[in-house]
Amino acid sequence: MTATPTTTISTQSFRPRPPEAGPVERPRPVDPAEQHEIEQFLYFEAQLLDEARYSDWLDLLAEEVAYRMPSRGNRLHRDLTREAGGPGDLGHYDEDLATLRLRTARVQQTVAWSDNPPPRVVRAVTNVQATRPPDRGEDVFAVRSVVNAYRNRLADDTDHFTGFRADVLRRGPEGLLLAERTVYLADSVILAKNASLFL
């Protein structure tokens, strides 16, 4: 069961609220200490990725990790539920631990020309909103965050990637683990020659 939204669009998007619906329900944030721990986890993860410490990064992933980046399209309001690709659609990432291992193993080779010499990437993670999804116990968190990444490659090959992430974190014996991530980039056309970085 997934604790994260599978679409970007709520039934409320671009629609006036029906009169019978109540006022907005405010989120129930986790404790400040838990919030702090979650933020520090996400910042550390971003640092490992910035530094291309992929073996270390893999330690932060749960065995059952699912890492996705659906494609997004331009749809009329009536078709908005289909503006982000679902499970049967073609996306930019749909990974499990095995393919994440493969992808990182590739970049750790000197003959991975797209990353040798390496690009310079800076990720900023913000707007971290953590809640406890119902029925998942004390050790599972649903976390929404925003990521902004700047990548400079060689001289003037520069890209911006901005999106929000719907994550599921769970507590393992060594600390928090990333169990699920869906990255919703704010682009329908990726304005870069590749999106082969992890956000």
Partner 1 sequence: MTTAPPEGPSAAARDLIDLDLGTLNREVFESGPLLRTELATVFTRSWLFLGHESRLSRPGDFTTAVMGQDHVIVTRSRDGRIRAFLNVCRHRGMRVCRADSGSATRFTCSYHGWSYDGTGALVEVPNHDDGYEGRLPLDRWGLVPVTRVESYRGFVFGCWDEDAPPLAEYLDGYRGVLDWATDGLDEPELVGPIKWRLQGNWKLAAEQFANDTYHPQTAHLSATSLLGVNMPTEGRELGSRYGHGWTIILPEDPNYAAFTFGRDPDSAEPGHQALIHGTVFPNFSMLGDRVLRVWHPRSVDDMEIWSWVLVDASWSPEQRRQAMRMATLTFSSTGIVETDDSENWSEIQAVGGGHVTGRTALNYQMGLGSTTTGDPAVPGFTGEVGHILNDVGARAFYRRWLELMEGPAPTLPQTAPAPMPAPSGR
Q: Where on the chain is the footprint of partner 1 (CB under 8 A)?
A: 69, 71, 73-76, 79, 87-95, 99, 102-103, 105-107, 109, 111-115, 154-155, 157, 188-196
Identity of the residue, 69 or 177, whose beta carbon is nearer to partner 1 in the bound complex: 69
Map tokens 């020309």 to a residue: 113
Q: How many residues does the chain have?
A: 199
Identity of the residue, 100 or 128, whose beta carbon is nearer to partner 1 in the bound complex: 100
Token representation of residue 91: 């996306």
Identity of the residue, 41 or 161, whose beta carbon is nearer to partner 1 in the bound complex: 161
Query: Smallest distance from the beta carbon of 142 to partner 1, in angstroms?
Result: 23
Identity of the residue, 39 or 94, whose beta carbon is nearer to partner 1 in the bound complex: 94
Token representation of residue 146: 């925003």
> Cα–Cα distance between 126 and 109 in angstroms, integer?
32
User: Phi first, then psi: what are they for 63, rounded to 5°?
Assistant: -50, -40
Query: Smallest distance from the beta carbon of 186 to partner 1, in angstroms?
Result: 14
User: Phi first, then psi: what are they for 68, rounded to 5°?
Assistant: -130, 150
User: Phi first, then psi: what are they for 106, rounded to 5°?
Assistant: -60, -45
Identity of the residue, 92 or 181, whose beta carbon is nearer to partner 1 in the bound complex: 92
Query: Smallest distance from the beta carbon of 64 to partner 1, in angstroms?
Result: 16
Query: Smallest distance from the beta carbon of 14 to partner 1, in angstroms?
Result: 14
Query: Smallest distance from the beta carbon of 120 to partner 1, in angstroms?
Result: 15
Identify whether the C-beta of residue 68 lies closer than 8 Å to the C-beta of residue 94. Answer: yes
- DSSP assignment string, 120-184: EEEEEEEEEEEEPPTTS-TTEEEEEEEEEEEEEETTTEEEEEEEEEEEEEEEETTEEEEEEEEEE
Query: Smallest distance from the beta carbon of 181 to partner 1, in angstroms?
Result: 14
Identity of the residue, 79 or 139, whose beta carbon is nearer to partner 1 in the bound complex: 79
